[in-house]
Amino acid sequence: MLPRCFVLCTLILAPSLTIAQSTPSLSHFGRNLAVAPNQTIENATCFLCSVAVDGQVNGSVHVFAGDVFLNGRVAGDVVVFGGNLSLTSSAVVDGHMLIFGGHLHQDPAAMPHPATVISALVFLPLILTLCLVIGALIVLARRMVRGPIAYPPLPRL
């Protein structure tokens, strides 16, 4: 019975051992992510934080509401939503760079990288519409909850 259990456990756990040996993908929420100069990772994803790449990223870098400081190499795409992208002279991006609502800061000595920068003004109609809908819901909720107004009786003289 024991050898069968051992073989079964080995077969179940073998795929997880091979996955653990591959390069990791890092995902952070609210905590800055840094790739050291001698470190290699697969993908970097960051929400409400910033990414600093001094090493190598074999995949893509995705940042939402944060900045990217690139001093190393990214083999895939760099997507920044609501933040800035800074490239040094030694930065290399093999894929596309897309920046929503931010700016591209590039070292003059750096190799020129074509980037797509979309201004934050593109989102202005969406934000105004969302504010209008939320305001209408607040007014409607107040009218439904308030009910009739009861005034206190006037004093008799």
> What's the confidence (pLDDT) of residue 151?
76
pLDDT (mean) for 30-55: 91
Pair 65, 48: CB distance under 8 Å: yes
pLDDT over 70 (residue 3): no
> What's the confidence (pLDDT) of residue 101?
83
102 vs 27, 44, 49, 99, 144, CA distance in Å?
A: 21, 19, 14, 6, 41
**What's the pLDDT band for 21 if we cut at 50, 70, 90?**
very low
pTM of the entire predicted model: 0.64
Residues 6+ apart with CB under 8 A from 45: 25, 26, 27, 28, 61, 62, 63
Element containing residue 145 per DSSP (H, E): helix 124-146
pLDDT over 50 (residue 18): no
Phi-psi region of 82 (alpha: psi -120 to 50; beta: other; left: phi over 0): left
> What's the confidence (pLDDT) of residue 136?
93
Per-domain boundaries in the chain: 22-123
Residues 6+ apart with CB under 8 A from 14: none
Each residue's pLDDT tens digit, 47-81? 999 999 999 999 999 999 899 999 999 999 999 98
pLDDT over 70 (residue 22): no
Residue 9's Cβ-side half-sphere holds a number of Cα atoms within 13 Å equal to 6
Residue, of 144 and 59, whose pLDDT is higher: 59
**What's the pLDDT band for 13 if we cut at 50, 70, 90?**
low
122 vs 29, 62, 113, 131, CA distance in Å?
A: 26, 20, 23, 16
